[in-house]
Amino acid sequence: MIERSSFFDFVTYAVMALGLVIIITPFWIVLVAASLSLPEVARVPLTLWPSSHLMENLSAAWSRADLGPKLLNTLVVAGGVTIGKITIAALSAFSIVFFNYRARMLCFWLIFLTLMLPLEVRIVPTYSIAANALLPFQALLDATGITSLVETIAGIRIELNWNLLNSYTGLILPLIATATGTFLYRQFFMTIPDELVEASKMDGSGPMRFFFEVLIPLSRTNMLALATIMFVSSWNQYLWPLLVTTDRPNYGTVVMELKALIPAQNGTPDWNVTMAGALLVMLPPLLVVAFMQRWFVRGLITKDK
């Protein structure tokens, strides 16, 4: 048993309480501001106690930004990214860690490098890809002369075209194309003892059986951690949805709607409605993190399995 020091316990609580204040204050202010009326929110100094207008501000934000369908859209996108990512990343990490082929380190680095350049700085060329996801293949066909060959023989011009603008696919696929998941799985798979693989081989079971019967059950907590990370980050995407969705009413997501709620666009400085909107937008990922936190922390501990 570790001995207790009452003085040090006091310090512990004091520090944690201070941390609580630091973390909670912004949340509290958002909540308070969201509950004020327009004259109250304009008053200086701001009151630190909630007023009674929370529901009306929430409904104002809800209807002004049309949050109902937008929340649904965001849920579809975040869900799609999470599921797609967990699946694809598990498969690719499995391939890299448990198979012995020459190009695997090259493949890993190819995937890993995608973390280095954020979407914001390559946004225009990425848009072209979203407008026609088959562009690289078309270029390949053109460059190898297949296009002109087919054209002279069959008289048909090959035009590959797959438009992802204004679609859930366009919102989801580019977000799956990052390395976070693969990297996390890889780190975990590397801690799986060789003996497990050997034992599985002895049983005469193939790699896919090993994957489904040994690896997947073992990595359940990691998957939950990854799911949390992916859900939160795709929920919070901002610039990409702004660019690929011109059809806002049908495919808009909530975070981009939030910017439309910032005053100065429409005149009155109704920060109370903006804050109510912020509250609604941040709630779902907050619930996910709060609910998943037990597995979240454990899923990151990769060694004590």
Partner 1 sequence: MKRNWLLSTLTASMLALTASSSLAAPVKFEFWYGLSGDLSERIQDMCKAFNASQQDYEIVCVSQETYENNLQNTIAAFRAKKQPAVTQISDGGTLDLMLSGAYLPVRELMEKNGYQIDWNNYFSGIASYYSSPKGELLSMPFNSSTAMIYYNTDALKAVGFEGLPKTWSEVEKVARDMKAKGYDCPVAFDPTGVWQWFEQFSAIHNQPIATKGNGYEGLDAEVTFNKTKFVDQLTWIKKMYDEGLFVNKSKAVGETANDAFVNGKCQITSSSIADHGTFGKQAIKDMHWEVAMLPMLDGFPRTNSLVGGASLWTLRGKSEEEYKGVAAFFNFLAQPDQAEWWSTVTGYIPVTNTGFQAMKAKGFYDNAPYKGRELAIESLTATPPTEYTRGVRLGNFNAIRKEIGDAMQAVLFNDKPVQQALDDAAARSNEILRRFEKTYKGASLN
Partner 2 sequence: MERRAHYRNRVLPWLLIAPQLILVLVFFYWPTSQALYWAFTLEQAWGGGNEWVGFDNFMGVFGDGRYWSTVGRSAVYAAAATGISMGIALVLALFVDRGLKGTKIFQSVFIWPYALAAPVVGVAFRFIFSPQAGMIGSLNRIWPGIWDPATNGLHALIMVIISHAWLSIGYNFVFFLAALQMIPRSIAEAGAMDGARPARRMLDLQLPLIAPTTFFLLIMNIISTFTDSFGLIDTMTEGGPIGSTEVMVYKIYYDGFKSLDYSGAAAQSIVLMLIVITLTFVQFKWVERRIHYT
Answer with the entry of partner 2, partner 1, none that 29 interacts with (C-beta below 5 to 8 A by kind): partner 2
269 touches partner 1 (CB under 8 A): yes
Q: Residues with Cβ < 8 Å from 234, sequence gap 6 or more?
A: 77, 78, 81, 82, 175
Radius of gyration of the chain (CA): 25
Residue 78 or residue 149: which is nearer to partner 2 going by CB? 78
- CB 131, min distance to partner 1, A: 3
Which one of partner 1, partner 2, none is in contact with 246 (Cβ closer than 5 to 8 A by kind)?
Answer: partner 1
Q: Which of 278, 262, 268, 263 is nearest to 54 (CA)?
A: 278
- Chosen from partner 1, partner 2, none, partner binding at 131 (C-beta under 5 to 8 Å by type): partner 1
Of the pair 146, 287, the CB lying nearest partner 2 is at: 287
Which listed residue (39, 193, 204, 267) binds partner 1 by CB under 8 A?
267
- The DSSP H or E segment spanning 126 is helix 123-131
**What do you get for the CA distance between the two ends of the chain, in Å?**
24
- Cα–Cα dist 298/304, whole Å: 9
Q: Is the CB of 55 or the CB of 286 nearer to partner 2?
A: 286
| CB count in 10 Å sphere of residue 190 | 11
**Contacts with partner 1, 225-254, as mask; x by CB under 8 A:** ------------------x--xxx------
For the segment 211-240, give every residue that binds partner 2 (CB under 8 A): 232, 235-236, 238-239
Q: Which stretch of DSSP H or E encloses residue 271?
A: helix 271-300
Contact between 24 and partner 2 (CB under 8 A)? Answer: yes
> Helix 67-98 vs helix 220-235: angle between axes, to the nearest 10 degrees?
140
Cα 43 to chain centroid distance, Å, stands at: 37
**For partner 2, the closer CB: 154 or 208:** 208
For position 201 contacting partner 2 by CB under 8 A, the verdict is: yes
Query: Under DSSP, is residue 164 helix (H, G, I), strand (E, B) or coil?
Result: coil
Q: Does 258 bind partner 2 (CB under 8 A)?
A: yes
Q: Does 265 bind partner 1 (CB under 8 A)?
A: yes
Say how many CA atoms lie within 13 Å of 254 toward its Cβ: 30
x/- binding map, residues 142-161, to partner 2, per CB under 8 A?
--------------------
Query: For residue 46, what is the DSSP state?
Result: P
Residue entry with tokens 């934000």? 61
Torsion, Cα of 179, 74, 165, 89 (10° steps): 20
How many residues belong to the site for partner 2 (CB under 8 A)? 108
Q: Using the rule CB under 8 A, which residue among 55, 72, 146, 301 binds partner 2? A: 301
Of 271, 277, 305, which is closest to residue 37 (Cα–Cα)?
271
Q: Taking CB under 8 A as the rule, which mask of x and - marks residues 99-128 in contact with partner 2?
A: xxx--x--x--xxxxxxxxx-xxxxxxx-x
Identity of the residue, 30 or 141, whose beta carbon is nearer to partner 2 in the bound complex? 30
Query: Which string of x and - marks every residue 154-183 that binds partner 1 (by CB under 8 A)?
Result: ---------x-x------------------
What minimum distance in Å lies between the beta carbon of 136 and partner 1? 14
